[in-house]
Amino acid sequence: MAYKLLFVCLGNICRSPSAENIMNYLIQERGLEGKIICDSAGTSSYHIGASPDRRMQAAAGRRGIKLVGQARQFDLSDFETFDLILAMDRSNYRDILQLDPDNLYKEKVRLMCDFATQHRDREVPDPYYGGEAGFDHVINLLLDACDGLLEEFLK
């Protein structure tokens, strides 16, 4: 059975689709296809059906990574479906845990930055209202955290 990862942010058009596509890129690079399955979702319904943000696509493209997918909202069934749920920031983390009032799935929910080894950031910052540098930072941070997460998986 494949290990299932779900990346979660607010809109599912910037950070979490980047995390999903970066992880798929690393999985392919390391020949781990089929062992780990990735998906992403937003806590909000703001952008359901939308493609990844163009500025995010451009930043990922600068690192040779193509972003594919359409935004969807986090669903309660995701708690059962996925083995690990990775929140991009503390607000996403809180919003996810609020949907699990009995703390049945708390152990499955983690902050993405807990897996970064090269960056000191504790959260993946929301780049939506900022400039190009913010999008590039998100990609660099996610490359680091995805790599760290993969290393944990391979232990």
Residues that bind ligand 4NP (CB under 6 A): 9-15, 46, 126, 128
Catalytic residue set: 9, 15, 126
Nearer to ligand 4NP, 126 or 144 (CB): 126
| Shortest distance, position 47 Cβ to ligand 4NP, whole Å | 6
Nearer to ligand 4NP, 47 or 82 (CB): 47
Write out the E strands in 10-120. Answer: 36-42, 84-87, 109-111
Q: How far is CA 100 from CA 6, 13, 30, 37, 109, in A?
A: 16, 24, 34, 23, 11
Write out the E strands in 1-155. Answer: 3-9, 36-42, 84-87, 109-111
Please report, in angstroms and rounded to a whole number, the separation of the first and last CA atoms in the chain: 17
The CB-nearest residue to ligand 4NP is: 11
| Shortest distance, position 24 Cβ to ligand 4NP, whole Å | 17
Nearer to ligand 4NP, 89 or 147 (CB): 89
Backbone angles phi, psi at 101, to 5 degrees: -60, -25
| Shortest distance, position 31 Cβ to ligand 4NP, whole Å | 29
